[in-house]
Amino acid sequence: MKIKTFIVDSFTNTPFKGNPAGVCLLETSIAADIMQSIATELNVSETAFLLQTENNHFSIRYFTPTVEIDFCGHATLAASKIILDTLNHETVDFTTHKGLQLHATLEDEYIKMLFPLYETTAYSPNQQLQDAFGLKDIISARFSKELDMVIIEVKDKQTLLNIDPNYQKAIESSDTIKEVVITSRSGDSEYDFYSRCFCPWIGINEDPVTGASHSVLAKYWSDILRKKEMSAFQVSNRGGFLKLKIISDTALEVRSNARIILEGKINL
């Protein structure tokens, strides 16, 4: 069996920036353990496995190098780039392993996607978690139960950039969370807010650019900034941008771009 496979840099217009994702186009179903082995072999933060079910509809599953996860924004963008660009579809719909419905289409130079929008509840990070990330002056902390994600706001971009986590201490601090997203208000006119995303609990120390986190960050910052449309930048070493528009209490429109870096086949 040969599986068409791509590496795509998501949330960027520039090669070798943004967040790399694997995309595998399946012609028939394969076992989850084989998908996991492929994701481990590709060793990017997430790999998406697509199986066409109708003309413009695909099932999609996401694997990190170590585990399957329910939803991944940058791998969805990478998958959309392949379907819209390589297969020349005008629109594409995805259904995740957990039944989440996703949609993407081309809009000018961007790929426009429809993501879920998630609420948060108050959260009090324990001292071990704060120490692991060197956090001293937390403005706010929230929790998303849908993604097992903690959102922590710090005072400014420089504080965000200075964070140097102890990942082992972070893992030991909690067995109930999968990600910590640290964010700050922007001090410039180009973006509304900045963030970094840390996921050592699922085998990714720092994720370069995280679409799923913005399903939480968009609602968080919309409430603070009183805005429905925002621009965001994730300040990892690679970096990447997202243009966000809240269209309902449960839906978020995300616009960005992606670059196909590598195309080949996996031989099984």
Q: Give 40's contacts (C-beta < 8 A, 6+ positions apart).
A: 65, 66
Instruction: Give backbone dihedrals phi and psi of 20, rounded to 5 degrees, phi first.
Output: -75, 140
Q: By three-state DSSP, how is residue 171 classified?
A: helix
Set 27, 41, 46, 109: catalytic member: 46
Give tens-digit pLDDT for 188-222.
999 999 999 999 999 889 999 999 999 999 999 99
Partner residues linked to 181 by β-bridges:
151, 197
Q: Active site includes 68?
A: no
pLDDT of residue 55: 87
Cα(207)–Cα(175) distance, integer angstroms: 19
If you search the block for the tokens 């070798």, which residue do you land on? 16
Q: Which secondary structure element, helix H or strand E, spans residue 162, and what is its range?
A: helix 157-162
Check residue 98 and give its pLDDT: 92
Q: Is 99 exposed, middle or buried (0-12, 13-18, 19+ CB in 10 A)?
A: exposed
CATH architecture of 2-116+255-267: Roll (3.10)
pLDDT of residue 138: 97
Please report, for the chain, the start and end positions of each structural domain, with discontinuous segments joined by +: 2-116+255-267, 121-247
Under CATH, what is the fold of the domain 121-247? Diaminopimelate Epimerase; Chain A, domain 1 (3.10.310)
State how far the Cα of 154 lies from the Cα of 112, in Å rounded to an integer: 29
pLDDT tens digit string along 52-110? 998 899 999 999 999 999 999 999 999 999 999 988 898 999 999 999 999 999 998 89
Q: Letter for the amino acid at 155?
A: K
pLDDT digits (tens, 9 = 90+) for 124-147: 999 999 999 999 999 999 999 999
